[in-house]
Amino acid sequence: MQHLDEGTIHSWLDGALGAVQARDAELHVATCRECAERVAEARGLIAASSRILMALDHVPADVVPAAARQVAVAAAVPMPMVAAAAPRAETPARRSWWGHRYARVAAVIALVAAGTLVVARESGRDAAVPPVSQRAHVSDSMAVAGAPPAPAAVPNHPPVALGGAARRESSAPAAAAKSAAAPRRDTGAPPSAGSAGGSVGGSAFGTERAKTDAMSSALQASRANAPRALAVKASAESNQVVASPPPRLVATDTVQRGGTVVRRETYEVDNQHVVLEAQLPPGTPNEQARGVPAPAPAAPAAADSASMNANMSPVVIRVIRWRGTDGVDYTLSGPLSADALQRIRVALGKG
Amino acid sequence: MDDAERLFRTYHPMLVRYLTRRLGDRDWAEEVAQETFVRALRQDGLINERAWLFTVANNLVRDDARRDARRRARLELLREEMRDEVVEPEPLSLERAQDAALARRAVNALAERDRLALLMREEGLSYDEIAQALQLSVGSIGTTLARARRRLVEQYEALRESQRGSTGHAAS
């Protein structure tokens, strides 16, 4: 069979191929490493584009707040965002507040005042209290000792395709993942860290911030040697620590995909964004947490890299999937290594 | 629940999100969405409601929708009733605003057909529905989406790199 073209791969992952075509694609990908890599790359592109589009939900109209605490936040909106809005008729009821000149001035004052207060408090802090990053590092070490990462679980959970209705429309993407996973084993990629024992679980959402703080330990400790790790110099010269900030929740939204509600959370880690998607199929029983290794990313010299813009380096988005102890199917994707994603998974405490 | 209310409750959130992403303005998006539903109320026996709504919304954006005050008022009332059910975006932080601006620039760099196909797919429209809304052949949707996704990601990453470079340059 001829190699699959990119359009066919995306159609397959989106569940848009007919049964016969889907089966042919599945059979081909199962035996063609090149196409398996392209399938993995396509999965990454689907996840990444979904993440980018999600950022579009945050638009100027929604930063017009009623509460005073939101004034400073509104003032932080950069002008390009406002300028990006296409011209249209104003809606006085919603625009009048922000449109008032004095409100803008007040917003700026509030922002400056808030910043000043933070600086003043920090400068007046007792020298015996370690910096935040130091304290986080210490607590992280303790948490890691208590919850060592488990080895990667067997990839027996049927993966689902990313984006749109692919999750529910076809079983073909599952085969794609199986096929795509094969090259990863061939290349001897290191096993990924699995779930962190019983230290995770609970409700899927609602306490992301608290969980992020509490679970940041494993992430920070494991990233101590990462190239992009943030070096934090302690107050004492001899007590230098290296830490990485915990995953920071920057966006959440919920999308309806057919009959399935998918909750998406975007986290920022080391200036990279990763997206956590969670869906709870109706009637799915809780199962033991199990990890699913990411499909192999396209090699740097992927066959189709020639089609990319010569001035742009290929973007490799990796995806991991698992079913949490709460029975929720999770997908975590981002431009990081599979191991890094697994560490973030542990840090997020999603089971 | 009458048919109009069912239609509104089923499709209004996704249509507003789609239009918001497309237009970059929530107010405008809601205006167009309302106009779309106003027109839907005038129609009898829609065969493919979702494809029809997105098609009309696309046309309205193109033609700059006009208003129908009376029916709009009713839809506004429905929207108010649904307000608690609709997931509202959180307030913008600086980082999120920057991310949104980058995403906007990357999306705007796409060809219109690619952009619309991608945005509709993100809302769960099938290939058939996208093809119907954009008046394309179903067979071309996979290629369109593949091209759109790749270009979007490449453009976004290029913009991020550019931003980092300029930030680093300014810092030094």
Identify the bridge partners of residue A266 per DSSP, sorted by sequence position.
Answer: A251, A275
Look at A88 and B25 and tell me if their CB atoms are within 8 Å: yes
Q: Which of A202-206, A262-266, A269-273, B92-96 has the lowest mean pLDDT?
A: A202-206
b/e code B80-117 from CB counts within 10 Å (16+ = b): eeeeeeeeebbbbbeebbbbbbbbbebbebbeeebbbb
Look at B121 and A271 and tell me if their CB atoms are within 8 Å: no
Identify the bridge partners of residue A257 per DSSP, sorted by sequence position.
Answer: A260
For residues B73 and B130, membership in a common domain is answered with no
For residues B154 and A14, is the Cβ–Cβ distance under 8 A? no
Integer Cα distance of A149 and A201 in angstroms: 15
For residues B10 and B47, is the Cβ–Cβ distance under 8 A? no
Residues 289-348 of A with CB under 8 A from B: 307-309, 311-313, 315, 317, 335
- Best of A38, A51, A59, A71 to substitute, by most chain B Cβ atoms within 10 angstroms, is A59
Look at A53 and B103 and tell me if their CB atoms are within 8 Å: yes
Q: Which of A2-6, A115-119, A272-276 has the lowest mean pLDDT?
A: A115-119
Residues 149-178 of A with CB under 8 A from B: 163-165, 169
Q: Which of A236-240, A328-332, B90-94 has the lowest mean pLDDT?
A: A236-240
Residues 108-137 of A with CB under 8 A from B: none
Closest A-chain CA to B64: A88
In a domain, A224, yes or no: yes
Identify the bridge partners of residue A267 per DSSP, sorted by sequence position.
Answer: A249, A274
Beta carbons within 10 angstroms of residue B45's beta carbon = 4
pLDDT band, very low/low/confident/very high, at A127 (cuts 50, 70, 90): very low
Instruction: Closest CB to B152: pick one of A14, A49, A164.
Output: A49
Residues 17-56 of B with CB under 8 A from A: 17, 20-21, 23-28, 31
User: In CATH, what number is assigned to the domain containing residue B102?
Assistant: 1.10.10.10
For residues B14 and B98, membership in a common domain is answered with no
pLDDT score recorded for residue A99: 38
Give the ipTM: 0.76
pLDDT score recorded for residue A215: 31
User: Over the stretch B111-169, which tens digit does the pLDDT of each residue have?
Assistant: 999 999 999 999 999 999 999 999 999 999 999 999 999 999 999 999 988 888 776 66
Domain count, chain A: 1
pLDDT score recorded for residue B97: 80
For residues B13 and B74, membership in a common domain is answered with yes
| Amino acid letter for position A157 | H
Q: Quote the domain boundaries for residue B81.
A: 1-89
**Residue carrying structure tokens 């620039």:** B105
Integer Cα distance of B46 and B11 in angstroms: 13
Domain count, chain B: 2
Token pair of A307, please? Answer: 């089609």
Token pair of A291, please? Answer: 């990890």
Contact with chain B for residue A59, Cβ under 8 A: yes
Q: Tell me how close the Cα of A30 comes to any Cα of chain B, in angstroms.
A: 21
pLDDT score recorded for residue A128: 39
Domain end, chosen from B48, B72, B89, is at B89
Across B15-32, average pLDDT:
88
User: Over the stretch A9-46, which tens digit does the pLDDT of each residue have?
Assistant: 999 999 999 999 999 999 999 999 999 999 999 999 99
For residues B131 and B137, is the Cβ–Cβ distance under 8 A? yes
Q: Tell me how close the Cα of A104 comes to any Cα of chain B, in angstroms.
A: 16
In a domain, A231, yes or no: yes
Which residue did the predictor score with more confidence, B86 or A132?
A: B86
**Residue A273 Cα distances to A47, A132, A311, B38, B160, angstroms:** 11, 22, 22, 39, 11
Look at B87 and A253 and tell me if their CB atoms are within 8 Å: yes
For residues B100 and B130, membership in a common domain is answered with yes
- Chain centroid to CA A225: how far? 21
pLDDT score recorded for residue A346: 82
For residues B27 and B80, membership in a common domain is answered with yes
User: Over the stretch A163-218, which tens digit does the pLDDT of each residue have?
Assistant: 333 333 444 454 444 444 333 333 333 333 333 333 333 333 333 333 333 333 33
Across A82-107, average pLDDT:
38
For residues A3 and A35, is the Cβ–Cβ distance under 8 A? yes
pLDDT score recorded for residue B91: 55
Look at A254 and B156 and tell me if their CB atoms are within 8 Å: no
Instruction: Closest CB to B91: pick one of A9, A46, A63.
Output: A63
Coil, strand or helix at A93: helix
In a domain, A102, yes or no: no
The highest-confidence range among A270-274, A328-332, B3-7, B102-106, by mean pLDDT, is B102-106
For residues A25 and A51, is the Cβ–Cβ distance under 8 A? no
Backbone conformation region of residue A333, classed left if phi is above 0, alpha if psi is from -120 to 50, else beta: beta
**End-to-end C-alpha distance for chain A, whole angstroms:** 41
Contact with chain B for residue A142, Cβ under 8 A: no
For residues B1 and B68, membership in a common domain is answered with yes
Beta carbons within 10 angstroms of residue B73's beta carbon = 10
A190 DSSP 8-state letter: P
pLDDT score recorded for residue A281: 58
Integer Cα distance of B105 and B99 in angstroms: 10
For residues B84 and B96, membership in a common domain is answered with no
**Residue carrying structure tokens 């976004």:** B156
Contact with chain B for residue A80, Cβ under 8 A: yes
**Residue A2 Cα distances to A24, A31, A180, B65, angstroms:** 10, 12, 18, 47
- Chain centroid to CA B110: how far? 14
pLDDT band, very low/low/confident/very high, at A327 (cuts 50, 70, 90): confident
Residues 6 or more apart in contact with residue A4 via CB below 8 angstroms:
A12, A25, A28, A29, A35, A38, A39
DSSP string for residues in A158-186 = -----STTHHHH-SHHHHHHHHHHHHHHH
Look at B31 and A55 and tell me if their CB atoms are within 8 Å: no
Integer Cα distance of B163 and B157 in angstroms: 10
**What pTM was computed for the model?**
0.45
Q: Quote the domain boundaries for residue A199.
A: 142-348
Residues 6 or more apart in contact with residue A116 via CB below 8 angstroms:
none
Q: Tell me how close the Cα of A91 comes to any Cα of chain B, in angstroms.
A: 7
Q: How many CB pairs under 8 A join A and B?
A: 201
In a domain, A172, yes or no: yes
pLDDT score recorded for residue B80: 67
For residues B110 and B162, membership in a common domain is answered with yes
Contacts of B66 in chain A (CB under 8 A): none
pLDDT at A75 over 70: no
In a domain, A166, yes or no: yes
Percentage of chain B exceeding pLDDT 90: 46
In a domain, A42, yes or no: no
Across B52-81, average pLDDT:
72
For residues B65 and B21, membership in a common domain is answered with yes
Integer Cα distance of A243 and A221 in angstroms: 7
Mean pLDDT over all residues of chain A? 55
How deeply is A70 buried, as exposed, middle or buried, from its count of CB atoms within 10 A (0-12, 13-18, 19+)?
middle
pLDDT at A139 over 60: no
For residues B135 and B166, membership in a common domain is answered with yes
Beta carbons within 10 angstroms of residue A325's beta carbon = 18
The highest-confidence range among A57-61, A335-339, B11-15, by mean pLDDT, is B11-15
pLDDT at A304 over 50: no
Q: Which of A37-51, A226-240, A318-332, B5-19 has the lowest mean pLDDT?
A: A226-240
